[in-house]
Every structure is written in structure tokens, then in C-alpha cells.
Chain A
């Protein structure tokens, strides 16, 4: 039982981590919290459901489509909700936050309208494949989710640390104006960041659909809040922190059910944040900012 619960926790934690990676990327570069990220994640899940269930498309087509469509949504989000507010006189620093909240409300209601309020099952034969080790049943999906999350984290770390585009991105994150003066096309970098973050949300969405067989228009909100909690826990804008934070939260939520009361499952996330912030205000992996 304990091993099965451990696998449950790791699966959940990996999904949290992928969602949090999208959050942390946007925060790292733009310094804003993208509240629409949860809804983009939800759209990714719906695209997966529609393609595999209604259109009978193979899974890889669903994956590619979810990535492409959520990436496009990221592009539109940047173009219409974020860019008009950037570098303008008199615009409050909270304005982008509010505009992403607006986008999230729009997307949730849009999906109500398009897909209906009910729960949509995800019928992919891939999700049924399982194998047993001893008395423990492991689903291939659970492994895939864990592997994908690790790959994404490593790829992101490599890309940020070792490639030219990654350096440009970090320069932009450091100081937008200076980077711009030094010849970095900051506009392109920012757009690219939001697109990549959104596509990762789409990947997480389709994975959740496969793992839990449940897709609803409301799933974005709770996942978005958890993602937010994780990046605070792990350190704002930190890739490793997002990964570690996600796994910690997933395991904590699972084990509170095992040893405690399932009613407190959601409370643990926010309790953990309070404790971490008291001990390490910058988050687990965050660096102290000296202003």
C-alpha cells in the first residue's frame, strides 16, 4: 500500500511540477503571476479529450495539437492581455495580474460554453496499460508523467543555462531595458517565454486527463492556485524549486490522506507555504534579493 501511495504522490507531484514550471518561467522573466495559466492547462486537457474521444485521433496527434493550440493561446495572451500594458506610463504594476485574471474568467466560461459543464472522460487505450510488480500495480501513464516532468525540468534548465536564447532570456529577466540596449530582442524573448509556458500547461493538461480520467472546466482554478503555492514554496522564478515544490506538495497531499484526514488535504498546501515562508522567506531554492 505504501509503495502505491508513494507512486500516487509522485504522479500528482509531477503534474503539479509541470504546471508550476509554466508559472515560474513567466514570473522569472516578466515578474508577473499569470493567473490564466490554470485555464490554459484546462484547455490542453479538453483538446486531448476531444481529439482522442470524439475524433478518435491517436494520442500523439492529440499531444501535438494540445501543444500547438495552447502555444497559440499563449501568444494571444501575450499580445492582447500583457503587451498593451507593458512600458506604459501610468499603468499600475498590478494591471497585468488583473488582466490575466480576466483572461482566466473568459476562458473558463468559454469552455463551459464550448464543452458543457459536465465531466468528460478521457478514453485513451494508452491510459489502461498497467503492469504489476509484486502486489503493486503501476500504470504506464504514471511513469510517463514522472519521466516527462523530469525531462521538461532538465531541458528547461539546460536551455536557460547553456543556450544563447536562454542567456538572452535571463538577461531580459535581469533587466529589461539593459538587455534591450545590449541588442536582445526582448519583445521576442517575452513572447517566446509565454508561449513555452503555455505549451507546458497544455502538456500538463493532457497528462492529467489521462491519469485521472476527469476533465472539467473548473479544473483550471484549483490547479492554478496549487501551482502558485508551489512557486512560492520553491522560490519564485526558480526551475528546480518548481520541480521540488511540486513533488513535495504532491507527496504531502497524498500522505495526509494516508496518515491523517482527507478533509485537510487542500489545507496542507497552504499550511506548508506559511511554514516555509516563516523559515525561508525567499522559498526553498530562491535567492535573497538585496534591494
Chain B
């Protein structure tokens, strides 16, 4: 017993030393930045750190995100109000690497603020650390529950499922006058499970009658039993929390069976792959999306053509979200008037009615998104705006 007490004492001394060291580091940076700002003269100069998933299986996300950021940086710096330098670090989709990258950016590079990391799991590790150091951080692709609640300095501009699903449900119910719904979801995946929780809650809030709740498992190929049961209950609408791989097959089997009511899906269902897999059977799928490239909006059109010119392909959701994120940062920086972390954080929290390519954007009290997502429906084998 004595020995273990001694060990505990040793450990607590050690850890408090570490905490002290970390605090000392934080103090030095604050002075470092003020100098950076003075050097810029009239133009406010700031270093923005970027942590992104650039190598490994999810490298496509990182590529899209950094492409969007670089395009925005070029445009913002050309305008001349603020001068932004991007310092890009790779996280490889790993929590530990993301944390190391964040520490490097915060402590050695003295960045004013950070954009990224790419995955919600990474943000769960990096967010609290940034908050502790007083560095504003914004996720552009982190949709999991509870991200902005990690700390006062943590923000995001990516629409969480909790906002996207009710938005698409509301529009679908208005249009079709739906009263009875059936819910179908994958019960062995965290993502589809949380999508189901959101759907169920939204359905209860909207006073819909839930006829049945059916489940399926990853990699299942036969959904006939569940669908036949649903068909017999005649729902007005089917809510399906599925990833596109399973979701597309479900729609295919449902349509074959003669179920022709619309489907409302979550974020995981929002992919052109659904059309590729299910073909005509995909018609009638309603999803909410933060980004719609075909939107009849001059800003969107300009962004799409510039992006295509620069990178030779159409921008996806991740590129668009990153692009808007840097514009939001530029706006906050302009309003803050200096590249100080605390001033920047307060200015960022004030951002309201920012009109970007994603839509009309504001932060709520916690740093989460307030925005009306675009609701899409698949018609004639294409995603179209749903009104």
C-alpha cells in the first residue's frame, strides 16, 4: 500500500510539472503573435494551421479539403484586406498524428487558428487540446454529435446529422402530407445508429406515427423480409438510416417489390453511388446536403468554374466546406482587426448571416452550425433540388 501511494505521489508531481510546462508554452506564443500583426502594416497577416487527412485510405478527403482552402486563400489574399498563410500538416486520419500536428502548429508555428482535422474522431482528441491552449479551431468535415461542445474555442461549419435529417424530413412531410412512417436502419454501425436516433426523435417531435422499426446488418444482401413487412403496413414515407452501399440495395429491392413511396436518408446515403448501384430504383430518395453544385446561384457557379479550371474536376462537399471555412476565417480576422487568438475567437463567434457558397451561415452559442441545408431528391437518375 505504501509503495503504491508513493507511486501516485510521484506521478502527480510529474504530471503537474507537465501541465506547468504546457502553460508556459502557451504564454510565450501570445506575445509572438502581436509582433506578426504589427509587421503587416495596414493588412492583417495571420498564419492559419491546417490539419488534414492527406495520406492513407482517406487521402481523397484531404486532397479535396486542401484544394478548396488553397483556392479560397488565393482569392482572399488577392482582395488585400487580410493576408493568410496556410501551414498544412498531414494527420493520415490517425488521432495521435493529428494531435502531434496540432501541437506543432500551436507551439512551434504559433498559428492564430487551425482548420481541421478531417475526421470527428481526430477532432475529439485535437479539439480539447486546442481549447486548452486557447487556439480557435474549426472542423470543416466533422459531423459527429458533440464536436462544438468540446470547448469554447472549437467550432465547425459542417452540418451535423441532427440538423440535416430533420430538415429533409420536414420538407418531405410538407410535400407528401405524410403521417405514417416506417424506419429501417443498420444496427451494427455507430453512424447509422446515431442517424436512426435522430430520425426517431424527429419523427416523434413531428407527431408522425411510426409503424415499425426494422434493422439490418452490414453486408447483408437480402432485405426482402423487412421490406415485405413494411409494404404490408403501407407507410407514406420510409426513413432509412443506411450507408449508400446497403441503402442502394434496399431501394432496389423495395422498388422491385412495388414499394413506391419516397425514402428519406441520412448523410451516409448522400452519394451519387446510390444512382450508380440502384439505377432507376434510386428515384425518390430525399437527402439533405450542405453542398449542391448545380444550385442556381452566381457564387456557387463561380466557385465551381474556378475550381474546375484550377484542378480539372468538379468540387465536392469537402472542397466546398473548406472553401467557405477559410472565408469565414477571413471575415472573422477582418472584424478582429488583429491576429490575436482571443480577439479572433470572439470575432469568429460573432459571425452571423455569412453568405457563402453553402448558404446563409451563422454560429450558435456553442459554435455549431445554424444553416438551412439544401434538400435534394433523386429524379430521373439525378440529384435535383427538392422544393
Contact = CB atoms under 8 A, between A and B. Distances in A.
B200 to A, nearest CB: 14
B225 A258 contact: yes
Contact of A121 (B187, B226, B257, B278): B278
Given A219-B221, A257-B225, A263-B187, A121 B279 contact: yes
A5 to B, nearest CB: 5
Contacts of B277: 118-121
A258 B229 contact: yes
Given A1-B228, A257-B226, A262-B214, A216 B219 contact: yes
Nearest to A263: B215
Contact of A1 (B222, B232, B245, B258): B232
Interface string A208-227: 10011111101101100000
B217 interface: yes
A254 interface: yes
Interface in A120-167: 120-121, 123, 128, 130, 137, 139
Contacts of A266: 217
A4 interface: yes
A249 interface: no
A257 B229 contact: yes
B386 interface: no
Given A1-B232, A262-B216, A214 B221 contact: yes
Interface string B199-222: 000000000000000111111111
Given A8-B228, A218-B219, A222-B219, A119 B248 contact: yes
A263 B225 CA distance: 12
Contacts of A4: 228
Contact of A12 (B217, B222, B226, B229): B222
A257 B229 CA distance: 8
Nearest to A209: B221
Interface in B268-296: 273, 276-279
B248 A262 contact: no
Q: Which of B187, B222, B249, B279 has the most CB of A within 10 A?
A: B222
Contacts of B279: 121, 123
Q: Dominant SS at the A interface?
A: helix
Interface in A253-291: 253-254, 257-258, 261-263, 265-266
B234 to A, nearest CB: 11
Nearest to B252: A213
A254 B225 contact: yes
Given A118-B245, A212-B253, A216-B245, A5 B225 contact: yes
Contacts of B276: 121
Q: Which of A214, A219, A258 has the most CB of B within 10 A?
A: A214
Interface in B173-231: 187, 214-226, 228-229, 231
B256 A139 contact: yes
Nearest to B224: A8
A139 B257 CA distance: 9
Nearest to A137: B258
Nearest to A119: B245
A182 B359 CA distance: 83
Interface in A186-229: 208, 211-216, 218-219, 221-222
Q: Which of B187, B249, B276 has the most CB of A within 10 A?
A: B249
Contacts of A253: 225
A241 interface: no
Nearest to B274: A119
Contacts of A130: 256
A213 B225 contact: no
Interface in B231-266: 231-232, 245-246, 248-249, 252-253, 256-258
A9 interface: yes
Contact of B219 (A9, A208, A219): A219
A263 B252 CA distance: 21
Nearest to B214: A262
Interface in B287-316: none
Nearest to A121: B277
B292 to A, nearest CB: 23
B257 A137 contact: yes
Contacts of B273: 118
6 contacts: A5-B225, A5-B228, A120-B277, A137-B258, A211-B222, A212-B224
Q: Which A-B residue pairs are the 8 nearest by beta carbons?
A: A257-B225, A214-B249, A1-B232, A214-B221, A218-B219, A8-B224, A212-B221, A254-B225
Given A121-B277, A213-B252, 17 more contacts: A1-B231, A5-B229, A8-B222, A8-B228, A119-B249, A121-B278, A139-B256, A212-B221, A215-B221, A216-B221, A253-B225, A257-B214, A257-B226, A258-B228, A262-B214, A262-B225, A266-B217
